[in-house]
Chains A and B, each alone.
Chain A
Amino acid sequence: MLEAVSVLQSTPGAIPYAGGTDILVRMKQGIIAPQMLVDLKKVPEMQDVTPIGDYGIKIGAMTTLSELVENELIRQRSPALSQAAATMACEQVRNRGTLGGNLANASPSADTAPALIVLDTEIEYFSGEAMKKIPIADFFTGPGETVMKPGDLLVSITIPDIARKAHYIKQTLREAMDIAAVGVCLSMKIHGELSSRLVLGAVAPTPIRVPAAEALIDKGKIDEAAEEAARAAAPIDDVRSSAEYRRAVIAPLVKKAYQIVF
């Protein structure tokens, strides 16, 4: 890892290369022209999936999307993440694309982000000369932007040792090879108070949490919570959907997620 970091930090125009499923598309379209790609496929610190306590899990950034779908530990401990990964792209892209790539790419519609945010995940990344650890909710700063600077490396994520039920709903036109028009992810603690988390994807510059709606869900006021969520969104018109439609489906999707999780 340190070797990769040193190359990245010392070479102008070098960027990390994980599965390449975002990078190569943009290179071919002429949107980016990196001077060097630093392939992370064999960096040992970024590979493993390890359990933490009874419910937690640490996942290396280079874990492929297919691995998120199939890994038994991930399926048991954070099924919403597996389920979100299964909605992504197609088999071939999932075999190449990685968790770290999806997060570092920071698309507002990135499918792994909502599932990780509702699980209070932390991100470990190497910056400058040290590892840093921050809540994932603080990681995204805008479309395609994160707190990471050029030369930084996302190393792993940690889902804390707290039992939560969660579900992700991805609104798309078709069953596969489609980007979320709206993503809704909801989680609740299994033991003790609900302490729910509600995240919306693809309706704002970053995935957003809606604390006001969470509070209403905790009180059992799901209809009001769903309306609150719709209000919190700041969707745009694009080639996939109008802002109006995006806003219109948030409430029903929140209710649907609630029915499944609760």
Chain B
Amino acid sequence: MKEYKILNTRAPRVDAFDKVTGRAKYTDDLSMPGMLYGAILHSPQAHANIISIDISEAEKLPGVIGIVTSEDTLGIAYGVSPARYDEQILAQDKVRYVGDEIAAVAATTPEIARKALDLIKVEFEELPTVLDMHKARDEDAPQLHERYRRNTVQEVHWDFGDVEAAKKEADIVRTDTLTSKMQDGAFIEPQSALASFDDRGYLTMYSSTQAPHYVQRTIGMALGLPLHKVRVVKPAVGGGFGPKASCSTMELITCLLAMKTGKPVKTTFDREQVFLHSRARHQFYHKMTTGVKKDGTICFLEHECALDGGAYCSFGIATVYYAGSLLGGPYRLENMKYDGCRVVTNKPVCGAQRGHGAVIARALFEIQLDRIAEELEMDPVELRLKNVREAGETTCNELYLSSFGMKEALEAVRDSALWKKKRTDKPAGKGIGAACGFFVSGAGYPIYYSRTPHCTVITKLSEVGGGVIVKSGAADIGQGSDTMLAMITAEVLGIKLSDVKVQSGDSDLAVDLGAYSSRTTLMTGTAAKEAAESVKKQILEVIAEKTGANVEDLDIVDGEVISSKGELDIDDLRTEYRKEHRGFRGTVKSGNLTFHEASRIAFLEKGSIVGTGKYSPPKLGGSFKGAAVGTSPAFGCSAQVAEVTVDLETGQVTVDKITGAHDCGFAINRTQVEGQMEGSMMMGMGEALMEEIIYDKCGRVINSNLAEYKMPTSLDMPPLEAIIVESHEPHGPFGAKEVGEGAIMPTIPAILNAIYDATGVRIDELPVTPERIRMALKKAGK
């Protein structure tokens, strides 16, 4: 492997100091002169017609500057998938869930704004509700949207290979189901937006978002503004995990209030609103029938799935496609049938969340493999190893695996966790389980139909010399993409990490589709590499010309220009530089021409030097309907082993350890790769054991706070071992691909398989709480 100076190290993050000192500014930390505070009136009804809205009392409240209802909007529908734009900024005639937005107030203080909400009178005509996704599909169920017959937003019917023929070859056929619950993103920073609208018609919004680009487009479309006059800036963001990947109603409302009042307006969600806005994990129901031969060869998978996504479509189309397509890997599965549907109900809206669409499908399939291994009396890890794909193979749904360290990852966790030993001699109540995972490294297509580059990067040499500024639209939401961009740039240019400044997350700087589908390192990293290479070339061309050297012989190493043909004649250049810096101290040392000198001289010669880079995926995917979803320039894969102790009397589960291995292609920053793996395991553990949005029968969320919506605390987290596998992805920068989402895939099934190992009872409903375990044990007479 090539020796790198900066890549593959544990370099501290570029934002580390700002984050730990509290100096980093998040959206809610920002304010502007004359700024107003926005507050939103949410529907208390799960399903109702709006008869009237009376804002007259609220308007009279001193301090209230502006109130908006649907009458202030253009009535343009928006959403995530253009084919399913089904949302309005403010409810027009109907509300569809408890939390749907009806009106909003801008006032001089947040307290006045909230008080004004109490004075808005809304008259409703209650409609029957439907909260259960299976009932929502009934012919006579209450209908949420006219356009969605039987409340179904999307159906998918796929049939790859020949399942019927494969059935005849299978020796063992098993059918199992799994139902999950809606989850919350539970990021630490609630959404916040600050919008201002100037007299020339330019709108600027600071927002806690994962995807400034999509937000910019949605605002322009829904508010009728020219796109070039809409600027979206992402300050520091405290996590997103998916729910911040699309334009939120709150962002649109804040812009609307700023346009109506002519003043800057800031709106910040409280925690309950985070739950109501949601856009987090769907509820999934999966039914799978899997057939294998006696020797463990997987023959076919027949898969049915239903997704409850709450009141609107949001990402729902992509979600239901992902739920099917990502079972194409990591195993040799040539015959796969999938029937999925995405349903609307009168509940908060689900969207994308880490491991988009694929997490619960993966969980059930991996659970099935364990059950099958048990029937075959085969070690479940061996069964998997027998079936895993390798680099160069293409899945039955035409996903090409250009790099694939699945086998290495599985063997690594097997060996590191002492799988064989722990599997055989273990005390009562102890269990161990394994699972694999598979995920895209960046969605192959944008959400809207376009051949737009997925991102561009503009790297500008500092005119005064010495450093570069990387300008990108990428959204660092805590995952560390700014550090990745800086590291790649510094490595390419041969300079110190501290001499690279990153400006990102601003739609005025460059285009970037955003931080979702684990795209940024592969895609924006490639663009940053290209931009830095261009800058380097331009500098070296000037130096070659000035010194009479061949440009091919020159390089920049450790911040100095060196030549493979011996010493360069730099006397004139140095003299010129020295004269320019009369009075400066210590700017030039003797020896080789420094990057500082070289970059300044390049500027003197050519003016501003800018390098640009872009990333556009190659043409991907098959020709079948929906083939676009699931395609990616590369695929990550991972394996995990979970060890648990179960108290058989109370059902209490203690996770003792998780050992994970993930193929990220190449670790740009080892600590950040491990951080993503650990975060994934934590999130997966929460989903497996605790996290569940609970509704009452009126469709109200009754645990919309972080006290009663339970996720693991630091004290719940077991020791985590993160093993990095590097398979060198040909399409990624320096061989890198994803780790952000793929690492969550094996966590839930590894824990569930371990619980089965400990208890002997299977539970087909998540989360697997002590209560569900205790009741299952009771049913089994234990």
Q: Interface of A with B (CB < 8 Å)?
A: 90, 171, 173-179, 239-242, 244-245, 248-249, 252-253, 256
Known: A239-B702, A239-B703, A248-B774. A173 touches B710 (CB 8 A): yes
Q: Interface of B with A (CB < 8 Å)?
A: 649-652, 689-690, 694, 702-703, 707-708, 710-716, 769-771, 774-775, 778
Residues of A within 8 A of B689 (CB): 173
Known: A249-B649, A252-B650, A253-B650. A177 touches B774 (CB 8 A): no
Residues of A within 8 A of B715 (CB): 174-176
Residues B690 and A177 in contact, CB atoms below 8 Å apart: no
Residues of A within 8 A of B771 (CB): 241-242, 245
Interface centre among B690, B707, B711 (most CB of A within 10 A): B707
Known: A245-B771, A249-B774. A174 touches B690 (CB 8 A): yes
Minimum CB–CB distance for A53 against chain B, Å: 37
Query: Once bound together, how far apart are the Cα atoms of A241 and B773, in whole Å?
Result: 13
Residues of A within 8 A of B716 (CB): 174-176
Could you write out 30 A-B pairs with CB less than 8 Å apart? A90-B713, A171-B652, A173-B689, A173-B690, A173-B710, A174-B710, A174-B711, A174-B712, A174-B715, A175-B715, A175-B716, A176-B713, A176-B714, A176-B715, A176-B716, A178-B710, A179-B707, A239-B694, A239-B702, A239-B703, A240-B708, A244-B775, A245-B770, A245-B774, A248-B775, A248-B778, A249-B649, A249-B770, A249-B774, A252-B649
Residues of B within 8 A of A175 (CB): 713, 715-716
Task: Say whether chain A's binding surface is mostly helix, strand, loop, or mixed.
Answer: loop
For A171, the closest partner residue in chain B by CB is B650
Query: Once bound together, how far apart are the Cα atoms of A174 and B652, in whole Å?
Result: 9
Query: Once bound together, how far apart are the Cα atoms of A242 and B702, in whole Å?
Result: 15
Minimum CB–CB distance for B229 against chain A, Å: 39
Residues of B within 8 A of A176 (CB): 713-716
Interface centre among B649, B689, B694, B771 (most CB of A within 10 A): B771
For A178, the closest partner residue in chain B by CB is B710
Query: Once bound together, how far apart are the Cα atoms of A253 and B651, in whole Å?
Result: 12
Query: Once bound together, how far apart are the Cα atoms of A245 and B710, in whole Å?
Result: 18
Query: Once bound together, how far apart are the Cα atoms of A240 and B769, in whole Å?
Result: 10
Closest 8 CB pairs of A and B: A252-B649, A175-B715, A245-B771, A176-B713, A176-B715, A175-B716, A249-B650, A174-B716
Residues of A within 8 A of B702 (CB): 239
Residues A239 and B712 in contact, CB atoms below 8 Å apart: no
Query: Once bound together, how far apart are the Cα atoms of A186 and B181, in whole Å?
Result: 37
Query: Once bound together, how far apart are the Cα atoms of A245 and B690, in whole Å?
Result: 16
Residues of A within 8 A of B713 (CB): 90, 174-177
For B696, the closest partner residue in chain A by CB is A239
Query: Once bound together, how far apart are the Cα atoms of A160 and B782, in whole Å?
Result: 43
Residues A239 and B649 in contact, CB atoms below 8 Å apart: no
Residues of A within 8 A of B770 (CB): 171, 173, 245, 249
For A246, the closest partner residue in chain B by CB is B771
Minimum CB–CB distance for B772 against chain A, Å: 9
For B708, the closest partner residue in chain A by CB is A239
Residues of A within 8 A of B651 (CB): 249
Minimum CB–CB distance for A227 against chain B, Å: 14
Residues of B within 8 A of A241 (CB): 771
For B770, the closest partner residue in chain A by CB is A173
Interface centre among B650, B651, B652, B690 (most CB of A within 10 A): B650
Minimum CB–CB distance for B761 against chain A, Å: 15
For A242, the closest partner residue in chain B by CB is B771
Known: A245-B774, A248-B774. A177 touches B650 (CB 8 A): no
For A248, the closest partner residue in chain B by CB is B774
For A174, the closest partner residue in chain B by CB is B716
Residues A245 and B649 in contact, CB atoms below 8 Å apart: no
Query: Once bound together, how far apart are the Cα atoms of A244 and B715, in whole Å?
Result: 28
Residues A245 and B708 in contact, CB atoms below 8 Å apart: no
For A256, the closest partner residue in chain B by CB is B649
Minimum CB–CB distance for B17 against chain A, Å: 24
